[in-house]
Amino acid sequence: VEKHQDNADVLYIEVDGRVLKELERSFVGVLALSVEVKRIKTTLYMEGFAHISVTDVGGNMVLIFSPKVGEVEAMCKAKVDWLTYYFKEVRPWSPSCFVDRRVTWVKVHGIPLHLEPN
């Protein structure tokens, strides 16, 4: 953790090289409509792209990855009409691709359902 001029704490983390190589082969899709990622995965499977994974990264963005080199690029060329239905934009991943918000569900046990105001 380092302090900067504006007194903000900044945490620097070294990225695993293997993860970085996978990300460099990945694409980022910006969703055009509100749809569950599971539906996109099912459509990919039915279209013959079973190795392509789609992961929700928050906001309206997904990470598209395949362990097979060139498979995502081939899908982008072959299924342009399908991509434009689900996505506003699909672009190669870069370190500047990030999400500024993420929804997280938390399960809590042992707290009463009602809380009394003071």
**81-90 confidence digits (pLDDT tens):** 888 999 999 9
| Mean pLDDT, residues 5-33 | 84
Coil, strand or helix at 15: coil
Kindly give, in sequence order, each residue whose CB lies less than 8 Å from that of residue 55, ignoring residues fewer than 6 positions away: 37, 62, 63, 65
For position 6, what pLDDT does the model report? 63
Distance in angstroms (rounded) separating the CA atoms of residues 71 and 60: 23
Instruction: Write down the pTM of the prediction.
Output: 0.72
pLDDT in tens, 48-103: 898 999 999 888 899 999 999 889 999 989 888 888 999 999 999 998 887 777 77
Give residue 39's pLDDT band: very low, low, confident or very high (50, 70, 90): very high
Helix (H) or strand (E) holding 41: helix 37-46
